[in-house]
Structure 1
Amino acid sequence: MTSCTDSNCLFCRIISGDEPSTTVYEDDKVLAFRDKFPAAPVHILIIPREHIATLNDTEPKHAELLGHIMLTASRLAKELDLADDGYRVVMNCNRQGGQTVYHIHLHLLGERPMRWPPG
């Protein structure tokens, strides 16, 4: 697995320990931590340890990793007592998709009603 070595990438710096975060889960494939600017009472970011800039940069070889990210979200939702009431998972891609850090990441949001369309 490619490690995070991009010193310009905020999430690579979090993985290396050079940038602080509040970790809620980690294993050999992913790191999950609380978002510094939460959009909901519970807002966890789940990031792969491998640097992949956008969802567009994923390949078939990343299928297991992408599945692991989703399963981690489900696991955390259960552990954080979000599962029964419901939660949202979001992955943004590129500028118009709302991506601000170019290292793929899944947002796990909960403990408030989510509406669609937003607003």
Structure 2
Amino acid sequence: MGPSAVDPDCAFCAIVSGGERASRVYEDDRVLAFMDIHPAAPGDLLVIPKAHVEGLEDVDEDLMAHLFRVVHLLTRGLRRSGLRCEGVNVFLADGEAAEQTVFHLHVHVFPRTWDDAFRLEVRWQERSRAALDDDAERIRAGLERGRHHPGQP
């Protein structure tokens, strides 16, 4: 699904339009950041494009770059806020298999402390150099198939 102004069934679009309340932290003409209503910790932020885009394939390069500039800015603000923040995780889930639950692209900015309960469970794999080289070749081929002009998805 390409970018559109709003999706009437999207909770984040309702926040953008003012139909749902949110504790707004940052806003410009393209991006909105607000406090997560179900935070992992105090200071847990969500950063979204104002236009409705579901995932990474739907957002153009300029908007994505701007979104991450705002994430960078907010990370600085979080670290200087006085809230407990000994580290930061930035997280983006793209698709159901990645556990995306709201299908409006969003970036989580999680403040971390040494004693928090935040965990990502990962089973790290061992891969041979030949398998890694094969994976790299497949991704390069995918880039060629999806070749686009800068600034376009």
Q: Tell me the TM-score normalised to structure 1 length.
A: 0.84
Q: Confirm or deny that 1:95 pairs with 2:91.
A: no
Structure-2 residue corresponding to 1:73? 71
Q: Confirm or deny that 1:56 pairs with 2:54.
A: no
| Identity value in percent | 37
Structure 2: which 5+ runs fail to align? 123-153
Q: Tell me the TM-score normalised to structure 2 length.
A: 0.66
Secondary structure of the corresponding residue to residue 100 of structure 1: coil
Q: Deviations over 1:8-38 (max 9, x none)?
A: 0001100000011000000011000000001
Structure 1: which 5+ runs fail to align? none
Q: Confirm or deny that 1:20 pairs with 2:18.
A: no
CA contact (8 A) 1:23 1:31 kept: yes
Distance of 2:36 and 2:48 partners within structure 1: 11
Higher helix share: 2
Q: Could you tell me how far 1:117 is from its partner in structure 2? A: 4.1
Give me the CA root mean square deviation.
2.0
Computing the radius of gyration from Cα coordinates, the structure with the larger value is 2
Deviates most, 19-28 or 34-43: 34-43
Q: Which has the higher relative contact order, 1 or 2, with Cα contacts under 8 A spaced 6 or more apart?
A: 1
Task: Read off the aligned partner of 1:63 and give its amino acid letter.
Answer: E
Task: Read off the aligned partner of 1:78 and give its amino acid letter.
Answer: R
Distance of 1:39 and 1:85 partners within structure 2: 14
Q: Deviations over 1:57-90 (max 9, x none)?
A: 33xxx111111111111101111226x9421111
Aligned residues: 113
Distance of 1:4 and 1:12 partners within structure 2: 8
Distance of 1:53 and 1:33 partners within structure 2: 18
